[in-house]
Amino acid sequence: MTEIPDDVRELASRLFDMARNGDETLVQYIDHGISPDLSNADGNSLLMLAAYAGHDALVGALIERGADVDKENGRRQTPLAGAVFKKYPEVVDRLVAAGADVNAGAPSALETARYFQITDMLERLGVEE
């Protein structure tokens, strides 16, 4: 296996930090060729990191640039399930509007909302209980 050069590793680390911090400079990197589905060693995509941190505008920008809304990380979690767990209604609404599957992943967004009894998230996921 080829060793990843230090400068590439450093850039990737900065990109993941941008996603976690909601730094929309990340969009410029995507627009210049970085994959919107870039994932770290744990399988967390840029979208997963932005969604889990509640950065609605960045989530929207990544979706507009083709990020896979159902891309699972190494633990089979999806961006939608992460946003449900963290109770970020705007991010959940945006992901659902983009076609995220409420049943994707394990646990799925739907299972997460039910397990933690997050009733307002169930409504956002289109489920009446």
Give the CATH number for residue 52: 1.25.40.20
Q: Is 1 inside a domain boundary? A: no
The C-alpha atoms of residue 64 and residue 106 are separated, in whole angstroms, by 25
Q: Does residue 99 carry a pLDDT above 90?
A: yes
Q: Is 63 inside a domain boundary? A: yes
CA nearest to 50, candidates 31, 37, 33, 32: 37
- The answer to whether the predicted template modeling score (pTM) of the entire model surpasses 0.85 is yes
Q: Is 129 inside a domain boundary? A: no
Residue 40 structural domain: 6-124
Q: Is 46 inside a domain boundary? A: yes
Q: Is 15 inside a domain boundary? A: yes
Total tally of structural domains belonging to the chain: 1
Is the Cα torsion angle 121, 21, 107, 80 positive or negative in sign?
positive
Q: Does residue 74 carry a pLDDT above 80?
A: yes
Question: Which residues in 73-84 are b (16+ Cβ under 10 Å) and which e?
Answer: beeebbbbbbbb
Mean pLDDT of 93-121: 96
